[in-house]
Every structure is written in structure tokens, then in C-alpha cells.
Amino acid sequence: MPDTSHGSPAGLAISAPHRELLDQVLDKWSLQVLNELCERPCRFNDLRRAIPAVTQKSLTATLRRLERNGIIERVLLSSRPVAVEYRITSLGKTLRHPVDVLLEWATAHMPDIEKARLRFDGSFGD
């Protein structure tokens, strides 16, 4: 690259593949699925029960996407009545730390953020 740098202190940078990856891995349901599978392998309906708000369709899509990215693994347990188990992969496990850091940040700063929101929302109704 010629020169996109303006003296970036920490060298953060977001390429298109980065964004695409984060979109696929940090979307609405992925974190919950990841959370469940980090604790134990789950059947499809285990996950539905663990995440009541997700629809069948969205859960299927989420699982396929995570599987495609190598974050989880789909294991066929038996064929007649079909039984499937989803498991976290070793690659998936490496995702846990970054996500934890993010959640810790969210937890730590939630009060500040709520204050900011009230201030922002208030400066209009007033």
C-alpha cells in the first residue's frame, strides 16, 4: 500500500475480509450459540431450549455459518432417528478469549453508556 498511514498509534485497521469475518462470527445469535457449545456439545433442540428467542430458521443459519467458518462442528450421531450434535472446534475455542474481553468491556462500562444515552436522549426532549 502506498500510504494510508497517518501515524496510526496502535495499528488498528479493518479490511473487508476482517469485517466480513466479524460479521459472521459476532452476529446476533452466534455469541449465545458459542456460549452454549463452549460448555458442552449440544443437540439442535438443546440449543433451541437454551436460546428460546431464536427461531428454527435463524438457528439453522447461524449453525451453518459457524460451521462453515470452522468455529463449530456438526457431528452425526445416528441416522435413524436422526441425531446430530454440535461441538465447538479448537478454532472456535480460540474465539472465546476475544469475546470475553469484549463482554468484560461491555459489563464494565455499561453504567457509563447508560448515562451517556440518558444524556443524549434527554437533550432533545428538553
Partner DNA sequence: CTGTATCCGATCAGATACTG
Partner DNA sequence: CAGTATCTGATCGGATACAG
Residue numbers at the binding site for a copy of itself (CB under 8 A) = 6-10, 12-14, 17-19, 21-23, 26, 28, 31-32, 34-35, 38-40, 67-70, 91, 94-110, 112-113, 115-117, 119-121
For residue 76, what is its C-alpha cell? 452425526
For position 60 contacting DNA by CB under 7 A, the verdict is yes
Residue 89: strand, helix, or coil: coil
Across-strand partners of 85? 43, 75
Q: Which C-beta is closer to a copy of itself: that of 112 or that of 126? A: 112
For position 61 contacting DNA by CB under 7 A, the verdict is yes
* Residues in 81-120 at the binding interface with DNA, rule: CB under 7 A: 81-85
Q: How many CB atoms lie within 10 A of CB 92?
A: 21
List all residues 6 or more positions away from 25 whose beta carbon is below 8 Å from its beta carbon: 66, 69, 71, 95
For position 56 contacting DNA by CB under 7 A, the verdict is yes
CB of 51 to DNA, least distance (A): 10
For position 55 contacting DNA by CB under 7 A, the verdict is yes
Question: Is residue 50 exposed (0-12), middle (13-18) or buried (19+ Cβ within 10 Å)?
Answer: middle
- Quick one: which of 43, 96, 109, 115 contacts DNA (CB under 7 A)? 43
